[in-house]
Amino acid sequence: MEAKYLKFEELNYLQLDALDRENTMFVLSLGPIEEHGPHLPLGVDVFVAEYMAMQIIERVHEKYPHKTIVKFPPIYVGSGGIRWLGTLNSKQRTVRKIIIDYCRNLGEHGFKYVLISNGHGGLGHVVALEEAARYASRKYNMSVISPSGRIAFNFLTGNYIGEIERELGHTFSEEEKEQLKMDSHAGWWETSIMLEILPHLVQKDYPGLKPYTLTRRERMLNKCYPGDPGYRGYPHKATPEYARAAVKVMMRHTMELVDEWFTGADMKKKASSPLYRLLFFRTNFDRFVFGGLGLLLALLLWYGLLR
């Protein structure tokens, strides 16, 4: 049986060099080690990124059999994880640099197509991946995309609820729709996907966990609060059926982006999340601000000396 993909680490350099540059797609999955409540393991984000990567690989292999797919080993790195025991955070700049370095090593040898599969929703982390994709595409004459930020944004803001309902064959109540929008970490969605892909790693007492939610502002701060259980949302409502329906919908939209990608469309905006437009989340925002303040101070001093 023909393999659906090649493992990068199992190739030698001659085998790698023999691949058609125009028809080879590299898939790179990543996410941080991060606490996910008392019921889920620390590796959830990478487990999900790997699962989604395999879903994409299967669909690309079926629809584009002439494409060669090469999969990298997963990278356990990420920024913006909840500051809790078990979380291994890296700087946003580190995440961006790692992706750029991986792409550079491919681009310098003529390879073009890299798809990043991300399993972590940290806002700065998502933007760092999108920054890296744009930079590598421009700098090394490549086409690198990180579509998961856009897909996750639409999913977590409720834009896919109607499609998920159709896949499930039933509708959510208005209360449940609001709950899905408030669910952000180790809750309804992540517990469901873990029940689907690695059920033995989900603690059996998860149905007894009480809902725990934060305001949008509180969620952005990534802090631990008094009585914080380490999850945000409704893990007790999780089912593997919900995960299967949600994955089908997300993969449908992901493949729409992949189809455009393969036709040579400009993916800078199409494959980026709305977060990318907010300068506050950019990797070098702090340097830009402090640099600007320093320049302003220098101008004020200079002006004062001339008076």
Query: 25 forms bridges with which residues in the sheet?
Result: 69, 113
257 within a domain of the structure (yes/no): yes
- Each residue's pLDDT tens digit, 150-169: 999 999 999 999 999 999 99
290 within a domain of the structure (yes/no): no
At residue 306, the pLDDT reads 56
pTM here is 0.91
In the predicted model, residues of the chain with pLDDT beneath 50 are 1, 290, 292-293
57 within a domain of the structure (yes/no): yes
305 within a domain of the structure (yes/no): no
298 within a domain of the structure (yes/no): no
Rounded CA-CA distance 80/32 in Å is 9
240 within a domain of the structure (yes/no): yes
At residue 244, the pLDDT reads 99
Q: Which domain range does residue 279 map to? A: 6-285
307 within a domain of the structure (yes/no): no
Query: 145 forms bridges with which residues in the sheet?
Result: 115
294 within a domain of the structure (yes/no): no
State the CATH number of the domain containing residue 132: 3.40.50.10310
- Each residue's pLDDT tens digit, 171-222: 999 999 999 999 999 999 999 999 999 999 999 999 999 999 987 777 766 7
Domain count, the chain: 1
At residue 238, the pLDDT reads 99
